[in-house]
Amino acid sequence: MIIGANSYRWAQHYERQSPPSLVEQNVDEALGYAAAGGIETWEPCWDSLDKFDIYAKALPKHGLQMKSVYVPCNLMLPDNNPEIGRVIALCLAAKELGCQLAVTNPDPVHWNNTPKPDDLIRYQTASLETLGYELRLRGIDLGYHFHTSELLDGAKELHHTMQHTTPDNVKLCLDSHWAYRGCGNSHLALQDLVHMYGSRIVSLHIRQSQNGIWTQTLCDGDINYQFLFDYLDARNWDGISCIELAIEAGTPVTMDLGQAHQISRSWLESAWPKARKGQTDHQR
């Protein structure tokens, strides 16, 4: 199991400072906290080639890898989508820094949970298949990610995407908490999603909540992760488990991000059966 961290929680942190700033403007502090928290691989929002030099210097300085990147994109155009070439260029640059996986959540129509019309879903799905094929030829996997809007109207966007792309070209970055929250805080929906598409899971984005509010660390809470860990262990899964903490109204903030990720990593290692077995074997 590879334990990583997505940069989103750091982005929230720096956006709330006075004056606001970006993760990359504070990259040594951010990666220093991640390394102190026991993180092995860092997943940045990879939306510009300008970030290449920043991470080329900072990653080795802090002993971190960059096995995956999160790449925003708009794939709703019907023909010869220029985004495909842009994303490929970004991913090839990331590959020079060790990236093996590009995670993408195609842009929604609006960021207010508006469902996509069917025709845009069809265009987007065809573009995802093309993008995944082109990246695979270049030695990079594509992981499809979703938020709430993809689960609207019977989760038509998520299901069409998974049903009309091929497993070799489009894999799944399972964001467990968005699956849970996007289906009305349904543990059942999350389990069904895993059973339908679990064979395509290439990475996890892991978050927790208690009483419906995101927690500042991974811990026991609304989602019982045991079924997911057992499911993946039974299949000898060896993907990236990416801690993706976040805060919202009501989330306590009582520790720095290094502590929050150290606690989250410890919880993940204690909760995951395969990790527990590895610790026992090591002790022997």
Look at the chain and report how many structural domains it folds into. Answer: 1
Question: How many C-alpha atoms does 146 have within 13 Å on its Cβ side?
Answer: 30
The tens-digit pLDDT sequence of the chain (284 residues) is: 799 999 999 999 999 999 999 999 999 999 999 999 999 999 999 999 999 999 999 999 999 999 999 999 999 887 767 899 999 999 999 999 999 999 999 999 887 888 999 999 999 999 999 999 999 999 999 999 999 999 999 999 999 999 999 999 999 999 999 999 999 999 999 999 999 999 999 999 999 999 999 999 999 999 999 999 999 999 999 999 999 999 999 999 999 999 999 999 999 999 997 655 544 343 33
Phi, psi of 212 (to 5 degrees): 85, 0
Domain region containing 191? 2-283
- Residue 54, both tokens: 């920043």
Q: pTM here?
A: 0.94
**First vs last C-alpha separation in the chain:** 20
Query: Rounded to whole angstroms, what are the CA distances from 14 to 21, 76, 145, 196, 206?
Result: 5, 31, 24, 37, 21
Residue type, 147: H
- Burial status of residue 70 (CB atoms within 10 A of its CB: 0-12, 13-18, 19 or more): buried
Q: What is the Cα–Cα distance from 251 to 246, expressed in whole angstroms?
A: 9
Q: What is the CATH number of the domain that holds 130?
A: 3.20.20.150
pLDDT tens, position by position, 196-228? 999 999 999 999 999 999 999 999 999 999 999
Residue type, 21: S
- Residue 106, both tokens: 């195609």
Residue type, 103: V
Q: Between 152-163 and 118-137, two packed helices, what is the crossing angle to 10 degrees?
A: 40
Give pLDDT, residue 30.
97
Q: Report which DSSP code applies to 110.
A: S
Q: What is the Cα–Cα distance from 13 to 130, expressed in whole angstroms?
A: 35
Sign of the C-alpha dihedral, residues 265, 266, 267, 269?
Answer: positive
Residues in Cβ contact with 29 at an 8 Å cutoff, skipping those fewer than 6 apart: none
Q: Report which DSSP code applies to 185.
A: S
